[in-house]
Structure 1
Amino acid sequence: MTPALPDVFLQAPIAHRALHDLSDNRPENSRAAIRAAVEAGYGIEIDLQRTSDNRAMVFHDYDMTRLTGRSGPIQQISAAEAQTTQLLHAADGIPTLDEVLDIVAGQVPLLIELKDQDGAMGTDVGPLEQDTVRALQGYDGAVALMSFNANSVAELARIAPHLPRGITTCSYQPKVEHLPQAICDHLRGIPDFERVSASFISHEAADLARPRVAELKAQGVPILCWTIRSPEQEAEARKVADNVTFEGYLAAHPG
Structure 2
Amino acid sequence: MRSSPFARLDRRLAAAPDAGRIAFLRAQDFAHRGLWGGPVPENSLAAARGAIAGGFGIECDVRLSRDGTVMVFHDADTERLTGVPGSVAGTTANAFAALRLGGGEERVPTLAQLIGLIAGRVPLLIEIKTDTLAQTAPLCLAVRRVLEGYRGPVAVMGFNPEVGHWFASHAPKIVRGLVMTEHRDGRFRTLRDAIARRLAVKRARPDFLAYDVRHLPSPLPSALQTTGLPVLSWTVRTPEQRAIVAEHADRPIFERPHAA
Specify if TM > 0.5. Answer: yes
1:88 is paired with a residue whose SS is helix
Partner of 1:76: 90
- After superposition, the Cα gap between the structure-2 partners of 1:97 and 1:70, relative to the gap in structure 1 and judged at 3 Å, is same
Give, in whole Å, the separation in 1 of the partners of 2:199 and 2:134: 15
CA contact (8 A) 2:81 2:102 kept: yes
Structure 1 unaligned spans of 5+: 175-180, 251-255
Question: What is the aligned-residue identity percentage?
Answer: 34
The one of 18, 24, 31 aligned to 1:15 = 31
Give, in whole Å, the separation in 1 of the partners of 2:195 and 2:181: 9
CA shift digits 1:1-31 (9 cap, x unpaired): 9666521221211000000012xx2110001
CA shift digits 1:67-109 (9 cap, x unpaired): 1111121111111111221111430321000000000000000
Cα deviation for residue 159 of structure 1 reads 2.1
Partner of 1:224: 232
Partner of 2:162: 151
Partner of 2:142: 131
Give, in whole Å, the separation in 2 of the partners of 1:187 and 1:36: 40
CA contact (8 A) 1:26 1:89 kept: no
CA shift digits 1:94-131 (9 cap, x unpaired): 1000000000000000011001241xxx4652111111
CA contact (8 A) 2:124 2:153 kept: yes
Give yes or no for the alignment of 1:204 onto 2:212.
yes
Partner of 1:35: 49
Partner of 2:104: 90
Give, in whole Å, the separation in 1 of the partners of 2:79 and 2:134: 27
Q: What is the identity, as a one-letter code, of the residue corresponding to 1:138? A: G
Q: What is the identity, as a one-letter code, of the residue corresponding to 1:113? A: E
Give yes or no for the alignment of 1:167 onto 2:178.
yes
Give yes or no for the alignment of 1:44 onto 2:58.
yes
Partner of 1:64: 78
- After superposition, the Cα gap between the structure-2 partners of 1:10 and 1:50, relative to the gap in structure 1 and judged at 3 Å, is same
CA contact (8 A) 1:48 1:57 kept: yes
- After superposition, the Cα gap between the structure-2 partners of 1:226 and 1:187, relative to the gap in structure 1 and judged at 3 Å, is farther
Relative contact order (C-alpha < 8 Å, sep 6+): which is higher? 2
Give, in whole Å, the separation in 2 of the partners of 1:191 and 1:57: 30
2:200 is paired with a residue whose SS is coil
Partner of 1:102: 116
CA contact (8 A) 2:46 2:106 kept: no
Q: Which deviates further from its counterpart, 152-161 or 197-206?
A: 152-161
Higher helix share: 2
- TM-score, with length taken from structure 1: 0.86
2:156 is paired with a residue whose SS is strand
Q: What is the identity, as a one-letter code, of the residue corresponding to 2:245? A: A
Alignment root-mean-square deviation, CA: 2.2
Q: What is the identity, as a one-letter code, of the residue corresponding to 1:32? A: A
Moved over 3 A (4+): 1-5
In terms of Rg, which structure is larger?
2
Partner of 2:69: 55
CA contact (8 A) 2:213 2:244 kept: no
Q: What is the identity, as a one-letter code, of the residue corresponding to 2:37? A: D
CA contact (8 A) 1:13 1:243 kept: yes
Cα deviation for residue 199 of structure 1 reads 0.9
Partner of 1:142: 153
Q: What is the identity, as a one-letter code, of the residue corresponding to 2:219? A: P
